[in-house]
Structure 1
Amino acid sequence: MGEHLSVSTGELDGFEGLHHAVKGSHVDVMQLERGKLRGTLSHVGIGDFSLSIGTFNVGVRTQRIATDDKLIIGMLLGARSRVTHWAFDMQPADVLVIPPAVEHDGVFQSASAYAAIRFDLAEVPAIFGGEPRLSDAETWQEKNHFRANDAIGMTAADRLPQIVSYLAQHPGALSDSSAEFWKRTIIDCVTATVVTSLPPDDFGHLPSAMKLVRDVEDYLHAAGTRPVHVSEICAMLRLSRRSLHRAFHEVFGMGPVTFLRHKRLCAIHSILRESRPGDTTVTEVALQQGFGELGRFSQYYRLLFGEYPSQTLGYAV
């Protein structure tokens, strides 16, 4: 598993550390504000996919000329002053698209924090298969800026550093399928702003809600016990998020994200019931099923089953 998932985090001691602000890329950096640049830089690698998160305390100017065919999608996590990329004025949680082989020019006038994911254009159809407007690689060939939805964007901006922290604490605890789930979760955080920027897709034929839900459940059954992200379902079944949401609300009275969370909680309950306390831990099982914030996971679990996960594990014989 160690070859599949890698996590590194370190302290910045000078602007030179930002030369590798995005894993796999080289960035030219010039310091703009006076003072010793301090900060942190973290990288998560899952196969050829990477997430980079950086924070720094003084203003810098960044320039990058791509030398490969990787797509970079960035999010501004926070900023004390003005941030511009090309001609785009950025606000916290805004998303920036940097196409392959396109020069990037950014100015951070003061302390800032950012996140950036980097992956092959060839992965776009699999990631956005349920959104035809996004699944075409040509869509990502032009630089672009997406203004964040206040609620969704800031939730994602807050969650990304937490995910890095979770994975850094348990670098060897994930199976390949769990690592793939976390990869989709990271991509979902960064690109949620892009998806919510699309106009409604109410045109066209919508399959009956019950049939659509049955198709999803058949897919989940075939997946077995591994965690399945909602973006995987949309991509594999060629469904938009809105179509999926409407169908699940009609059938179950809850959205697909909540439904999938309940399914993962049920899988954890069964695993804990069948395990011995000395053979596994609640933390290991939760991470395998895509739960990183263990306090919130425990609340979800207790609300659904009326007991804490540690109690379920303790009941195992």
Structure 2
Amino acid sequence: MHIESSIQIAATDGYPLGATLFYADDSPHPERLAIVNCATGVKAVYYARYARFLADHGYLALTWDYRGIGASRPASLRGFKAGKFDWGSKDFEGVLQWAANNFPDSEIHVVGHSIGGVMPGYAASCWRIDRLLAVGAQYAYWRDYAQAVRRRMFLKWHVAMPLLSKLLGYFPGRALGWLEDLPAGVACEWAFRRARLEHPEPARADHFALLGCPTLAYTISDDPFGTPAAVTRLLDYYVNSKRTLVSLTPHDLHLKQIGHFAFFHDRFRGSLWPETLQWLTTGIHRRRILGEWPSARIVNEEAEDLEDAA
């Protein structure tokens, strides 16, 4: 039996965020709590099936919407002030504090899809996270898009999107069939993203080094956003996390395509989802490794120990 409870969580500036808790009726005080961070322009409800799967396996799972999206959307987005940095530094930080305060004895695991894998680095309390699973996680620097579709994606997301946002005061993604509507600030932050997160505000990268937990990141071969270059660019910021980048192809699952969004579709309940659960609970994965990076903090500590011994 599942229990699903709609709640509100306050961001650090008091903005109310719509969220849903998923759990089995016999686990009100779970050993592990999973926070699912959405992709840009995707409602939290899309991840409900994956959250139920986690609840079936003993988790308390939490899905939630960024300000301006889904259950956290105001009556009108025209002129609504919000950016992706707000999503991390205020919204995710508020969710993380809520989880730690209400379930102090639970491990906190974060599943971040696309921009959802960036959110921990914007949050001052990311040191509380015990595991980070990232799927297609990157911050949409256009030169990292898949080369075959880079020009088309640049025109769509870096020309058309900011122009429409400037004209209308928000981005009408739903009317165009391009994901959900977005606050203009979110759309422009995406459209004018540079190669480094420090530009134009260096302080935006301040908290990434606080993440000290293991991180497993998936790159999917037919994902035009989450290419190996894009995911690696993000992982380079989590310097004190032990990071593993693994690859997945549609052929691995006898499919023609997976892309950027399908990972959390119910058809992967018997394949991809169990392997994510295995890694979250045991640290074991089955995918081909493209790259591994140790925690700089641990490397430095080991070096200091060797110096002391000498």
Q: Which TM-score band applies after superposition, normalised by the shorter structure? A: under 0.3
TM-score (norm 1): 0.27
Tell which structure's C-alpha radius of gyration is larger: 1
TM-score (norm 2): 0.27
